Chain A
Amino acid sequence: MAIAPARVPERGIPEWTGFDGLVQLISVDGQRTVGCPYWELVADVGADQLRDLYTDMVVVRRIDVESMALQRQGELALWAPLLGQEAAQVGSARALRPDDFVFPSYREHGVAYCRGVDPVDMLRLWRGSALSGWDPAVFGLATPAIIVGSQALHATGYALGIMLDGATSAAVAYFGDGASSEGDVAEAFGFAASFTVPVVFVCQNNQWAISEPVRLQSHGTIAQRGQGYGIPAIAVDGNDVLAVLAATRLALARASAGEGPTLIEAVTYRMGPHTTSDDPTRYRSRDEEEEWRVKDPLVRLRALLRAEGLADDGFEDSVTAAADEVAARLRRGCLALPDPPPDALFDHVYAGPHPLIEEERDAYAAYVSTFDS
C-alpha cells in the first residue's frame, strides 16, 4: 500500500482516554469511531488501502493456518501461531518505511510477510532446516529472536547507529507481554530514553505468555511502563488495523524527527496456543476465548468494508483464492526444503580461520566417509 509520510502532530502524542483508554478507529462491530484524534494520521487511507490491509490479513492468517497444519502433519518441528494478532502485525508493519529495520520475536510472521519475506523461508527455522530463514539486510528485518526480550536491546543499539549516522529511519522492536518482564526490555527502555534514539517498541499484549496471564507480569498496564523511563506510550486496540497503523506512523514520525523512542502497547489476543506444543484448555476458559472471538480483527475489518460498500462476495472470493494459492505454494515449498549437508554444521561459526573448527570438520568428514564403503 502507499505509505504517506506521517508528521508529528503539533501537540505531540494526543491525549486520548476514550474506548477503555485505547486508541480505536474501527469499533468491534465495524463502525468508524468518532472523535479520536488519531484519524488524522490515517487520513490518506482510502478504499484501495483498506482492501489491501484486509488482503494482507487474510493471507497472513492463511499462512498461519497452513503452517499449523504442516506441523500437525509432521512437516514442521514447531509453529508459533499468530492467530488473532493479524491487525497488530499488519497495521504496524505497513506503517514501516523501506529503510526502517525490524527486530522481531518468533511470532511475527505477519510482519515478515509485509517486509517481503518468502513464507517458505519463514518455515526453514520451524522445519529444522536452518537456524533462520532470510538475509536481514535485504528485508530490513532481523531473524527471529527466541530468547525473549533480547531483541529490544538490539533494536536500541541499531537505533543508536542510525542516530550516529545522522539518518532519519527508525529501528522497531516487536515483543510480547511476557517479554515486558525481561531485564533486557527494561534495559532497552533505559538506554533508548537516555540516548534519545529513534526506536519504536511495539508490544503486542496478547494476554498470555504461554500459561501466564498478563496480570502475572504486572498490575499496571504495559503502556504505563513508559512513563517511568520518560518514554511516551500509546495504548492501542491491537485488533484494529487502522488504529495500529496510526499509532505506528506517529511513533515513526517522532523517531525520524529526533524525538526519541515511543512505546506502543497493542492490546490483542492470542486466539491459538502459544505454540503447537501448548494446550490452552489447561489454563484458560472457553468464556474468555469466546469474549475475544467476537473481537476478531478480520471480522471487524470485513464488517467495515461491507458496511461501506468496499467489498462484495466477488472481492472476498478473490482474496480467499489468492490466500489459498499462497498456502499451496507454501506447502510445496516446505516439502521441498532440503536438509543441509552435515558439513554445514561447521560453516560460519567464525569469520576467520579457526584451527579447532577446521580440525573437527576434517575429522568428522573422515568419520562419515568410513560408512561410504
Chain B
Amino acid sequence: MSLGQALNAGLRQAMERDPKVVLMGEDIGKLGGVFRVTEGLQRDFGDRRVIDTPLAESGVVGTAVGLAMRGYRPVCEIQFDGFVYPAFDQIVSQVAKLRHRNEGRVAMPLTIRVPYGGGIGAVEHHSESPEVYFAHTAGLRVVTPSNAADGHRMIQQAVACDDPVVFFEPKRRYWERGEVDEGLATTVAPLHQARVVVEGTDATIAAYGPMVATALEAARIGLQEGTSIEVIDLRSLSPVDFETIEASVRKTGRLVVAHEASVFCGLGAEIAARVSEHCFYHLESPVRRVGGLATPYPPSRLERHYLPDADRMLHEVDRCLQA
C-alpha cells in the first residue's frame, strides 16, 4: 500500500486500540483530509472521534491541549507545513512544556501530523520543511517516516507515546507504495531508532523523510560508478539516534547529511558537530551537508534547483572522497 494508505491504516488501528484517541483538524472528516490520510475514519468512528474544526491552527492544537488534560489522546492534523506557524506558540510554549511545568502531573500525549516538504509543484507555503524549529524545542519528539511500512508503525507508536510527537509526513512520498504488514507489532523498533537502509563502505549519507528515496537513488548510481555508499534513514529528528550514525561513520569515514530544509542551522549542522566531536579520528574528510538553499522556498518552476537531488548528493560524496 502507499504511505498515505499506511498512515490511514495505522491511525485506524490506533483508534481501535484506544477509545481516547480522537482526530482533529481541518477537512479531515467527510473529505478525509486534503491528502486523504483520514479517509473513511469519520464514517467508521463517527464525528465525535474524527472532528472537523474551524480554520484556526492554534485553536486545533490549543483545544487538543485541553482534551489531553481531560484524558484524551488527540491527533491533530495541520493541513500543510506552512500552516503550522499559527500553532507554533501552543506547540512550543504549551504542548512541549506542560509536563515539565507541572512536574510530571500533567500528561501531554498529543500527536501533531504535518505533511511537509516540496517536490509536488505546489504554491507558496505548501512545500516547506520546518522540522528543526520543533527539534530545537525541549519536550517535543520529532519524527518522520520515509516509507509505507515505517509510516504504518511509527504513526501508531506516536499516538501511543505519552510525550507529544510532531509527526512530519513527506508529502511527495504519500503515493509511493511498499509492503506493509498490518499485523506487525509496533514494538519491533523504538520510535527514535534510525535504520541502515543499504550498507556501504566508502561514505555514509544520512537522510530522513523525503530525502531517503533520493539518497537511495544516489547510492545506486554511486555503485555503478564504483562508490559504495551507506544510507541511513534517521526516522527521528528529536532525539537523534547518534549511535547508528556514529557506528556508520566509524566504518566509512565519510558523512554527508541530506535534507530539504535549508542547510544553515539545519539538522545537518547538529549532526556534523556531533560527529566531529565523537568520531574525529575516524573521519577521512570533513562532514558535508546538502540541503535547501538559504532562500525562501521558490516558485515551483524553480524548486528542482532548490531541492537536493541524487546528483547533488553524489557531488558532496565526491568532495568527501577527494578531500
Q: Are both chains from one complex?
A: yes
Tell me the A residues contacting B by CB distance below 8 Å: 101, 103, 130-132, 135-137, 142-143, 147, 150, 152-162, 164-165, 171, 183-184, 187-188, 190-191, 194, 347-352, 354-356
How many angstroms between the C-alpha atoms of A347 and B163 in the bound complex?
A: 13
**Stretch from B1-9, B68-76, B168-176 at the A interface:** B68-76
5 pairs of A and B residues whose beta carbons are closest in the complex: A157-B66, A153-B62, A161-B70, A157-B63, A187-B59
A164 nearest CB neighbor, chain B only: B48
Assess the A153–B99 pair: CB atoms within 8 A: no
Knowing A161-B71, A188-B59, A194-B54, say if A351 contacts B99 (CB, 8 Å): yes
Interfacial chain A residues near B22, Cβ < 8 Å: 164
A-side interface mostly: helix
CB within 8 Å: A-B pair count: 140
Could you tell me how many residues of chain B have their Cβ less than 8 Å away from some Cβ of chain A?
47
Indicate if B89 sits at the interface (CB-CB under 8 A): yes
How many angstroms between the C-alpha atoms of A183 and B64 in the bound complex?
A: 16
Indicate if B65 sits at the interface (CB-CB under 8 A): yes
Interfacial chain B residues near A354, Cβ < 8 Å: 239
A-contacting residues, B44-74, CB 8 Å: 48, 53-54, 56, 58-59, 61-72, 74
CB distance from B79 to the nearest CB of A (A): 16
CB distance from A188 to the nearest CB of B (A): 7
Interfacial chain A residues near B300, Cβ < 8 Å: none
How many angstroms between the C-alpha atoms of A142 and B66 in the bound complex?
A: 10
Indicate if B105 sits at the interface (CB-CB under 8 A): yes
Can you identify 5 A-B contacts, CB atoms within 8 angstroms? A150-B90, A153-B63, A158-B69, A191-B54, A355-B239
Indicate if B101 sits at the interface (CB-CB under 8 A): yes
B139 nearest CB neighbor, chain A only: A349
Interfacial chain B residues near A153, Cβ < 8 Å: 58-59, 61-63, 65-66, 90
Assess the A159–B66 pair: CB atoms within 8 A: yes
Interfacial chain B residues near A351, Cβ < 8 Å: 99, 104, 107, 109, 161-163
How many angstroms between the C-alpha atoms of A336 and B28 in the bound complex?
A: 52
How many angstroms between the C-alpha atoms of A74 and B58 in the bound complex?
A: 38
Interfacial chain B residues near A187, Cβ < 8 Å: 54, 56, 58-59, 62
How many angstroms between the C-alpha atoms of A184 and B54 in the bound complex?
A: 13
Interfacial chain B residues near A101, Cβ < 8 Å: 69-70
CB distance from B63 to the nearest CB of A (A): 3
Assess the A355–B69 pair: CB atoms within 8 A: no
CB distance from A151 to the nearest CB of B (A): 9
Apart from A158-B66, A183-B58, list 20 A-B contacts with CB within 8 A.
A136-B69, A136-B105, A136-B106, A156-B66, A157-B63, A158-B67, A158-B70, A161-B66, A161-B69, A164-B48, A183-B86, A184-B59, A184-B89, A184-B90, A188-B59, A349-B138, A350-B141, A351-B109, A351-B161, A356-B239
